[in-house]
Each structure stands twice: as structure tokens, then as C-alpha cells.
Amino acid sequence: MAACVIRRTFLSTVNKYNRKHAISVLNVDLNSRQTLNRTRLSCSLFNVQQKRLMSSRPEGKVLETVGVFEAPKHQGKYETGQLFLHSVFGYRGIVLFPWHARLYDRDVSPATESKPTEPPGAHRSKEVKGKTHTYYQVLIDTRDCPHISQRSQTEAVTFLANHDDSRALYAIPGLDYVSHEDILPYNSTDQVPIQHELFERFLKFNASKVPPFIPRDTLQAWQEKNHPWLELSDVHRETTENIRVTVIPFYMGMREAQNSHVYWWRYCIRLENMGEEVVQLRERHWRIFSLSGTLETVRGRGVVGREPVLSEEQPAFQYSSHVSLQAPSGHMWFGPSAVPHRGPGV
């Protein structure tokens, strides 16, 4: 079966569906431990109100043949050089190396759902033991980046400058972290199947190997040198009311500013609609508490300048941002709100 990248464009109107739902979102507990290689995150919940609607939309698809699908691995891990399609965002990519993260999955069980509903704003906490879960550092084919820019704002990894006195951020475009279950493996006879400026610096073709792309010494050297700010250690996830929220934090380091220490994190948030109703994110509400005693509240329209629509056809939106604290530990509460999506022309 030929593997294809599907790019979709939609123009339609939708019907309003007025019904309020409470969705649970994540409280992020940040703890740098004053090291670069370990950032802890724990989650609790509070409720926010959202309105939702039903939608039926026509779709247009453009297909491009890129290779032949292979059977996904349910056991074991993918090797360096494995070509894949992202099962949610559809881009072509190649595996560089794996990360073994601790996944704290707080999906509500049926027994929990049968309990009386808590009032909006109530806090709920569940002790969850993390399980080892494989993620992959990958290169994204730059030809596909324009087609995912409306749904994923994380196709670059940012890091602080090496100078201790600099707060400048640098970025390497076309890097991503992909969960094992989001990998759709395929093979290709093309010796350069991925277009990325780092592809030929990190990998080389070897027809006798499976997969036929093997790591160069430069990849191992790059991984070892940049391991502290690349490392993915903890992932938190919860699904309520068919909305799955996944949060991944990355501790970036500490800088000195005006005789005080500033601790920097990058965080990645993925919102995914697991149901059929259409949800549009209109507002975000952050509360950021530092153990130094400061509390900051941030409220604004959408996220990263967007008001994404999570539909059955395009169910996910993913983005990254940064936060700094005046102490090595703190907490972040994230509350999105959604309203009915009226569509163009309504």
C-alpha cells in the first residue's frame, strides 16, 4: 500500500450547537532541581467551561506518493533512520534517536466518571504512577512544514545561548518529539527521502541495512553535546469530555539577571479532539506561581496568536512556548476556553 501525505483544505459553514461542558486541564509543577537533565512535572485538575458544536465539512485532498507502508511496531522501538508519516499531523520524518520518558496518564476511568460531577473550578488530584514510554527525536521534511503550520507550532527546538550572561533564544527548525504510537513507518527507494539541512550531516545511505539509513558520527556527537537541553523526561496526559491534553516540559537552564537567578522552561502543549463535535479555542488563562512567592496571571485570546479549530478532520493543535521563574520550582495552571465555531461567511 502506497504511503501518502494528505494535505487538506476546507471551506464550509457549521451549525451552532449550544451545550456547556466542563473540561479538565493540567496544572504543571515545575522543579528544575538546579540541573539541566531532570525536570519534573505533575498534574492536577480544575474545571473550565466551554461551548461546543456539531460540524459537517466537505474536504479536498492532495495525495503525494512517498513510499510503501510497513507494519507498525507494537513491541520494541524504531531504529535510527526509520522513515515515517506522523499519524496526526501527516508530515514526513525520520527517526534520529529515542527518548525513554515517564508518561503520567490521568485519563478518567469509567468508575471515576460515574461519580457526581464536581462544580466548575473545583480541584481534583489523582496519584498516578508514571510508566516508561518511548518518544523519538525526529527530523521533519521541510517540504511539509508549510502544510502543518496551521496545526503545529512546535516544528523547532529552542535553547538558550551557551553564554551564561545571555538570555537569547536560538532555534533549530524542523525538529520534533513524536510518541511511539504516532509513528506510521514506511520505506522508500530514494537515497535522500527527507529534505532537511541536517539530514546528510546526521545520516548516510547504506543499502545493506534495515532501515537503510545509518547514523554518522556527527549525530552521536551532536546528541551528546546537546543532551541537556534536548532531553525529554516527563509527559503528562489526560482526556476528559473527549478533549485530550498533553503537556511536556523541558528545563532550559538558569541565567543571572540584575543580581538574581532566572530559571527558564520550554513547554509543549497538545490539544486533541477525540470526539465528533467541533471545538474552537478562543481564550487561554494561565496562573504561574513561583516558590519565591510571586503569582502571575495571564489571560489572552487563543494561543500563540491562533484560535485553533479542533474538528474531526483536523483534530489536534500543538504549540510550544516559554516561561521563566525567579525560583527553581513552581506551578502553572492552564485553563483554555472554547466557543462555537461559526465558520467563514456566518
- Strands 243-257, 260-273: parallel, antiparallel or unpaired by DSSP? antiparallel
Class level of CATH domain 2-339:
mainly beta
Question: 154 and 319 in contact (C-beta within 8 Å)?
Answer: yes
Q: Among 31-45, 131-145, 192-206, which is the least confidently predicted range?
A: 31-45
93: pLDDT strictly greater than 60: yes
76: pLDDT strictly greater than 80: yes
Which pTM does this prediction carry? 0.74
Question: Phi, psi (5° rounding) for residue 9?
Answer: -125, 145
Q: What percent of the chain has pLDDT over 90?
A: 28
Q: Cα separations (Å) of 120 from 23, 47, 126, 277, 302?
A: 9, 5, 17, 21, 21
Q: What are the residue boundaries of the structural domains of the chain, listed by start?
A: 2-339
Cell numbers linked to 76? 520494541
Length of the chain: 346
pLDDT tens for each residue of 94-116: 999 999 999 999 885 544 444 44
Q: How many CA atoms lie within 13 A of 191 on its CB side?
A: 5
CB atoms within 10 A of CB 77: 14
Cell numbers linked to 223? 546528541
Question: 333 and 287 in contact (C-beta within 8 Å)?
Answer: yes
CB atoms within 10 A of CB 259: 5
